[in-house]
Amino acid sequence: MKRSAKTKAVPKTIDEYLAKVPEPQRATLAKVREVIKSVLPAEATEVISYRIPCVKYKGMLLGYAAFTDHCSLFGMSSTLLGPLKEDLKNYSTSKGTIRFGVDEPLPAALIKKLVKSAIAEKEKLKKK
């Protein structure tokens, strides 16, 4: 099936995704990406899934994306955000999603805490 000219091509890499994102969302997501990468295990991989940048580690770990009026971090788990409720009180959240300003990346310490919690959750599941 041919894609129409109106159909947006799905990016194949994170860099390709980010290149299509306007500023200030691009810079915000680039910062989020760097913080995420700083705490990932060596076996983790970056992929495009659901048409957005994602990280895989023992399954889907998390994703992030830009929207017109906000950016989001997706925990890929409905239980990830529960224990971090107090840390997230200043953000709009739902199940596994955190929304934040297009020009205000989440604090690095919070991103690291989220990634480490997601990794711990995956490792716990894989041991069962």
Give the start-to-end residue ranges of the domains of the chain. Answer: 14-115
Residue 1 confidence (pLDDT) above 70:
no
Residue 2 confidence (pLDDT) above 50:
no
Distance of CA 106 to the CA centre of its chain: 11
Residue of 4, 82, 17 lying closest to 47 (CA atoms): 17
Report the range of poorest mean pLDDT among 64-68, 108-112, 119-123: 119-123
Q: Average the pLDDT over 81-102 and give the result.
A: 93
User: What are the DSSP E strand ranges found in the chain?
Assistant: 45-49, 52-56, 60-66, 71-74, 92-94, 97-100
Burial (Cβ within 10 Å: 0-12, 13-18, ≥19) of residue 58: middle
User: What pLDDT shows up at residue 10?
Assistant: 87
User: What pLDDT shows up at residue 24?
Assistant: 96
Query: What is the per-residue pLDDT across 50-83, written as a single tens digit (0 to 9) for each?
Result: 999 999 999 999 999 999 999 999 999 888 898 8
pTM, entire model: 0.89
Query: Which CATH architecture group holds 14-115?
Result: Alpha-Beta Complex (3.90)
